[in-house]
Amino acid sequence: MTWNPLRRSSLTHKPDPAPGIIDRLKDRELEDLYVKLQKLEEANKRIIKDIKKFSEGIQSLSKAENKLINDLSSSASCNKNEKFRSVVEEYITVTTEMNKTVQDTSKVCQKTVIDPMKKYNSEFSNISSYIHKRDSSIVDVKKLEAKLRKLQDKEKSTTNMAKQQLLKKTLEQAINEAQVTHNKLLEDLSVFHELRGQYLTPSLHSLIQSQADYYGKTVQLFTHLSNMSTENTAINTPQRLSEKKAEIDSKLNAIRALAIVGGPGGQTAAS
Protein backbone atom coordinates (compact mmCIF):
# COMPACT_ATOMS: atom_id res chain seq x y z
CA MET A 1 0.00 0.00 0.00
CA THR A 2 1.31 3.48 -0.88
CA TRP A 3 2.62 5.39 2.12
CA ASN A 4 0.45 8.39 2.90
CA PRO A 5 2.14 11.28 4.72
CA LEU A 6 -1.30 12.48 5.82
CA ARG A 7 -2.22 9.24 7.58
CA ARG A 8 -2.97 9.19 11.29
CA SER A 9 -0.04 10.18 13.46
CA SER A 10 1.71 7.61 15.64
CA LEU A 11 2.01 9.82 18.70
CA THR A 12 -1.58 10.33 19.79
CA HIS A 13 -1.52 9.38 23.49
CA LYS A 14 0.56 11.14 26.11
CA PRO A 15 2.46 9.02 28.65
CA ASP A 16 0.28 8.22 31.65
CA PRO A 17 1.14 10.25 34.76
CA ALA A 18 2.69 8.16 37.52
CA PRO A 19 2.65 10.12 40.80
CA GLY A 20 4.24 8.23 43.65
CA ILE A 21 5.89 5.81 41.23
CA ILE A 22 8.04 8.05 39.02
CA ASP A 23 9.84 11.16 40.23
CA ARG A 24 7.60 14.16 39.53
CA LEU A 25 10.27 16.09 37.62
CA LYS A 26 11.15 13.09 35.46
CA ASP A 27 7.47 12.49 34.81
CA ARG A 28 7.05 16.09 33.67
CA GLU A 29 10.23 15.90 31.60
CA LEU A 30 8.86 12.94 29.64
CA GLU A 31 5.57 14.74 29.05
CA ASP A 32 7.33 17.86 27.72
CA LEU A 33 9.58 15.76 25.49
CA TYR A 34 6.56 13.90 24.15
CA VAL A 35 4.97 17.19 23.06
CA LYS A 36 8.18 18.15 21.22
CA LEU A 37 8.23 14.79 19.44
CA GLN A 38 4.59 15.21 18.43
CA LYS A 39 5.43 18.54 16.80
CA LEU A 40 8.48 16.99 15.13
CA GLU A 41 6.40 14.19 13.64
CA GLU A 42 3.81 16.62 12.26
CA ALA A 43 6.52 18.92 10.87
CA ASN A 44 8.20 16.01 9.07
CA LYS A 45 4.90 14.95 7.52
CA ARG A 46 4.31 18.48 6.21
CA ILE A 47 7.83 18.63 4.75
CA ILE A 48 7.34 15.31 2.96
CA LYS A 49 4.05 16.58 1.55
CA ASP A 50 5.65 19.85 0.38
CA ILE A 51 8.60 18.07 -1.27
CA LYS A 52 6.20 15.79 -3.13
CA LYS A 53 4.26 18.86 -4.31
CA PHE A 54 7.50 20.47 -5.54
CA SER A 55 8.47 17.32 -7.44
CA GLU A 56 5.00 16.95 -8.94
CA GLY A 57 4.97 20.66 -9.78
CA ILE A 58 8.13 20.65 -11.89
CA GLN A 59 6.94 17.47 -13.63
CA SER A 60 3.60 19.15 -14.44
CA LEU A 61 5.48 22.18 -15.77
CA SER A 62 7.60 19.90 -17.94
CA LYS A 63 4.48 18.22 -19.35
CA ALA A 64 2.91 21.61 -20.08
CA GLU A 65 6.02 22.74 -21.95
CA ASN A 66 6.06 19.52 -23.96
CA LYS A 67 2.45 20.09 -24.97
CA LEU A 68 3.24 23.68 -25.91
CA ILE A 69 6.13 22.51 -28.08
CA ASN A 70 3.96 19.92 -29.80
CA ASP A 71 1.32 22.55 -30.55
CA LEU A 72 3.92 25.00 -31.87
CA SER A 73 5.71 22.44 -34.03
CA SER A 74 2.44 21.31 -35.62
CA SER A 75 1.24 24.84 -36.35
CA ALA A 76 1.11 26.28 -39.87
CA SER A 77 3.47 29.09 -38.86
CA CYS A 78 6.17 26.57 -38.04
CA ASN A 79 5.86 24.96 -41.47
CA LYS A 80 5.82 28.19 -43.45
CA ASN A 81 8.18 30.45 -41.50
CA GLU A 82 11.78 29.25 -41.48
CA LYS A 83 12.91 31.64 -38.73
CA PHE A 84 9.98 30.66 -36.53
CA ARG A 85 10.66 26.97 -37.18
CA SER A 86 14.30 27.43 -36.20
CA VAL A 87 13.31 28.93 -32.85
CA VAL A 88 10.83 26.10 -32.22
CA GLU A 89 13.49 23.51 -33.00
CA GLU A 90 15.84 25.14 -30.51
CA TYR A 91 12.98 25.21 -28.00
CA ILE A 92 12.49 21.47 -28.52
CA THR A 93 16.18 20.88 -27.81
CA VAL A 94 15.94 22.90 -24.60
CA THR A 95 12.80 21.14 -23.35
CA THR A 96 14.35 17.75 -24.10
CA GLU A 97 17.29 18.65 -21.89
CA MET A 98 14.94 20.07 -19.26
CA ASN A 99 12.95 16.83 -19.22
CA LYS A 100 16.13 15.01 -18.18
CA THR A 101 16.86 17.64 -15.53
CA VAL A 102 13.33 17.36 -14.14
CA GLN A 103 13.58 13.57 -13.89
CA ASP A 104 16.97 13.82 -12.19
CA THR A 105 15.66 16.39 -9.72
CA SER A 106 12.59 14.30 -8.93
CA LYS A 107 14.76 11.23 -8.31
CA VAL A 108 16.99 13.21 -5.96
CA CYS A 109 13.94 14.47 -4.06
CA GLN A 110 12.63 10.93 -3.71
CA LYS A 111 15.87 9.12 -2.86
CA THR A 112 17.64 11.65 -0.66
CA VAL A 113 14.76 13.57 0.93
CA ILE A 114 11.40 11.80 0.86
CA ASP A 115 12.62 8.23 1.47
CA PRO A 116 14.97 9.14 4.37
CA MET A 117 12.29 11.28 6.00
CA LYS A 118 9.70 8.52 5.61
CA LYS A 119 12.15 6.16 7.30
CA TYR A 120 12.70 8.73 10.05
CA ASN A 121 8.96 9.14 10.56
CA SER A 122 8.52 5.38 10.87
CA GLU A 123 10.50 5.61 14.12
CA PHE A 124 7.60 7.44 15.74
CA SER A 125 5.59 4.23 15.59
CA ASN A 126 8.37 2.51 17.56
CA ILE A 127 8.40 5.38 20.03
CA SER A 128 4.67 4.92 20.54
CA SER A 129 5.23 1.22 21.28
CA TYR A 130 7.93 1.99 23.87
CA ILE A 131 5.66 4.54 25.54
CA HIS A 132 2.92 1.91 25.67
CA LYS A 133 5.41 -0.49 27.30
CA ARG A 134 6.28 2.15 29.89
CA ASP A 135 2.58 2.81 30.58
CA SER A 136 1.95 -0.92 30.96
CA SER A 137 4.63 -1.12 33.65
CA ILE A 138 2.88 1.73 35.49
CA VAL A 139 -0.45 -0.09 35.22
CA ASP A 140 1.14 -3.25 36.66
CA VAL A 141 2.38 -1.28 39.66
CA LYS A 142 -1.04 0.26 40.26
CA LYS A 143 -2.68 -3.17 40.13
CA LEU A 144 -0.24 -4.52 42.71
CA GLU A 145 -0.83 -1.46 44.91
CA ALA A 146 -4.58 -2.02 44.75
CA LYS A 147 -4.15 -5.70 45.57
CA LEU A 148 -1.93 -4.84 48.55
CA ARG A 149 -4.49 -2.36 49.90
CA LYS A 150 -7.16 -5.06 49.80
CA LEU A 151 -4.95 -7.42 51.80
CA GLN A 152 -4.19 -4.66 54.30
CA ASP A 153 -7.91 -4.11 54.84
CA LYS A 154 -8.44 -7.75 55.74
CA GLU A 155 -7.94 -9.39 59.12
CA LYS A 156 -4.27 -9.54 60.16
CA SER A 157 -3.82 -13.29 60.13
CA THR A 158 -0.50 -15.06 59.77
CA THR A 159 -1.39 -16.13 56.25
CA ASN A 160 -2.51 -12.61 55.34
CA MET A 161 0.67 -11.03 56.69
CA ALA A 162 2.80 -13.53 54.76
CA LYS A 163 0.91 -12.66 51.56
CA GLN A 164 1.45 -8.97 52.24
CA GLN A 165 5.18 -9.41 52.69
CA LEU A 166 5.45 -11.38 49.46
CA LEU A 167 3.31 -8.84 47.61
CA LYS A 168 5.38 -5.94 48.93
CA LYS A 169 8.52 -7.51 47.48
CA THR A 170 6.75 -8.04 44.16
CA LEU A 171 5.52 -4.44 44.24
CA GLU A 172 8.97 -3.11 45.06
CA GLN A 173 10.42 -5.03 42.13
CA ALA A 174 7.65 -3.78 39.81
CA ILE A 175 8.24 -0.17 40.87
CA ASN A 176 11.96 -0.56 40.23
CA GLU A 177 11.30 -2.02 36.77
CA ALA A 178 8.84 0.80 35.96
CA GLN A 179 11.40 3.42 36.98
CA VAL A 180 14.15 1.76 34.93
CA THR A 181 11.82 1.59 31.92
CA HIS A 182 10.83 5.24 32.35
CA ASN A 183 14.42 6.47 32.73
CA LYS A 184 15.62 4.46 29.74
CA LEU A 185 12.76 5.77 27.60
CA LEU A 186 13.46 9.34 28.69
CA GLU A 187 17.15 8.96 27.87
CA ASP A 188 16.56 7.41 24.43
CA LEU A 189 13.90 9.93 23.43
CA SER A 190 16.13 12.82 24.47
CA VAL A 191 18.93 11.51 22.26
CA PHE A 192 16.50 10.90 19.39
CA HIS A 193 15.23 14.47 19.62
CA GLU A 194 18.72 15.98 19.91
CA LEU A 195 20.00 14.09 16.85
CA ARG A 196 17.14 15.20 14.58
CA GLY A 197 19.25 17.95 13.00
CA GLN A 198 22.18 15.64 12.26
CA TYR A 199 19.87 13.17 10.53
CA LEU A 200 17.83 15.69 8.53
CA THR A 201 20.61 18.14 7.56
CA PRO A 202 22.04 15.92 4.76
CA SER A 203 18.55 15.68 3.24
CA LEU A 204 18.18 19.46 3.36
CA HIS A 205 21.60 19.95 1.76
CA SER A 206 20.69 17.48 -0.97
CA LEU A 207 17.41 19.30 -1.61
CA ILE A 208 19.17 22.67 -1.88
CA GLN A 209 21.79 21.23 -4.24
CA SER A 210 19.15 19.60 -6.45
CA GLN A 211 17.23 22.88 -6.68
CA ALA A 212 20.44 24.76 -7.47
CA ASP A 213 21.14 22.27 -10.26
CA TYR A 214 17.56 22.47 -11.54
CA TYR A 215 17.28 26.26 -11.60
CA GLY A 216 20.88 26.66 -12.77
CA LYS A 217 20.25 24.33 -15.71
CA THR A 218 16.99 26.14 -16.46
CA VAL A 219 18.73 29.53 -16.60
CA GLN A 220 21.57 28.13 -18.71
CA LEU A 221 19.32 26.48 -21.30
CA PHE A 222 16.80 29.27 -21.64
CA THR A 223 19.49 31.95 -21.76
CA HIS A 224 20.99 30.03 -24.68
CA LEU A 225 17.55 29.81 -26.30
CA SER A 226 16.95 33.51 -25.76
CA ASN A 227 20.25 34.39 -27.41
CA MET A 228 19.45 32.10 -30.35
CA SER A 229 15.97 33.55 -30.79
CA THR A 230 17.32 37.10 -30.87
CA GLU A 231 20.11 36.14 -33.25
CA ASN A 232 22.81 36.72 -30.62
CA THR A 233 21.79 40.31 -29.94
CA ALA A 234 22.02 42.00 -26.56
CA ILE A 235 20.95 40.14 -23.44
CA ASN A 236 17.51 40.91 -22.04
CA THR A 237 18.33 44.15 -20.27
CA PRO A 238 15.43 46.43 -19.26
CA GLN A 239 16.15 48.48 -22.39
CA ARG A 240 16.08 45.36 -24.56
CA LEU A 241 12.80 44.22 -23.00
CA SER A 242 11.35 47.67 -23.63
CA GLU A 243 12.42 47.44 -27.27
CA LYS A 244 10.77 44.03 -27.60
CA LYS A 245 7.55 45.35 -26.10
CA ALA A 246 7.58 48.29 -28.51
CA GLU A 247 8.15 45.88 -31.41
CA ILE A 248 5.24 43.69 -30.32
CA ASP A 249 2.98 46.73 -29.83
CA SER A 250 3.89 47.97 -33.30
CA LYS A 251 2.95 44.66 -34.90
CA LEU A 252 -0.24 44.50 -32.82
CA ASN A 253 -1.24 47.98 -34.00
CA ALA A 254 -0.64 46.89 -37.57
CA ILE A 255 -2.95 43.93 -37.04
CA ARG A 256 -5.62 46.14 -35.46
CA ALA A 257 -5.43 48.44 -38.49
CA LEU A 258 -6.51 45.63 -40.79
CA ALA A 259 -9.99 45.94 -42.22
CA ILE A 260 -10.89 42.38 -41.23
CA VAL A 261 -10.23 43.12 -37.55
CA GLY A 262 -12.52 46.12 -37.33
CA GLY A 263 -11.33 47.05 -33.84
CA PRO A 264 -10.99 50.59 -32.48
CA GLY A 265 -9.09 52.63 -35.03
CA GLY A 266 -9.29 49.85 -37.60
CA GLN A 267 -9.92 50.69 -41.23
CA THR A 268 -13.09 49.67 -43.02
CA ALA A 269 -13.28 47.92 -46.34
CA ALA A 270 -14.68 51.07 -47.93
CA SER A 271 -11.71 53.16 -46.85
Phi, psi of 7 (to 5 degrees): -65, 170
pLDDT in tens, 186-232: 999 999 999 988 888 998 888 888 888 899 988 888 887 777 666 54
pLDDT number for residue 270: 37
As a whole number of angstroms, the distance between CA 266 and CA 256 comes to: 6
DSSP 154: S
pLDDT number for residue 241: 67
pLDDT number for residue 234: 47
Q: State in words which class domain 24-141+179-233 has.
A: mainly alpha
**Which amino acid belongs to residue 57?**
G
pLDDT number for residue 152: 87
pLDDT number for residue 251: 67
Q: With contact defined as beta carbons under 8 Å apart, do 140 and 167 qualify?
A: no
Regions in the chain scoring below 50 on pLDDT: 1, 3, 5-6, 232-235, 261, 263-271
87-99 per-residue burial string, b: 16 or more CB within 10 A, e: under 16: bbebbbebbeebe
Q: With contact defined as beta carbons under 8 Å apart, do 105 and 210 qualify?
A: yes
Q: Which of 128, 140, 136 lies closest to 37, judged by CA?
A: 128
pTM for the whole thing?
A: 0.74
Q: Where in the chain are the domains?
A: 24-141+179-233, 236-271
Q: Which residues, other chains included, contact 48 with Cβ-Cβ below 8 Å and sequence gap of 6+?
A: 5, 114, 117, 118, 121
The residue count of the chain comes to: 271
Q: Which of 129, 122, 55, 67 lies closest to 92, judged by CA?
A: 67
Instruction: Let me know if 164 is exposed, middle or buried by CB neighbors in 10 A (0-12, 13-18, 19+).
Output: middle
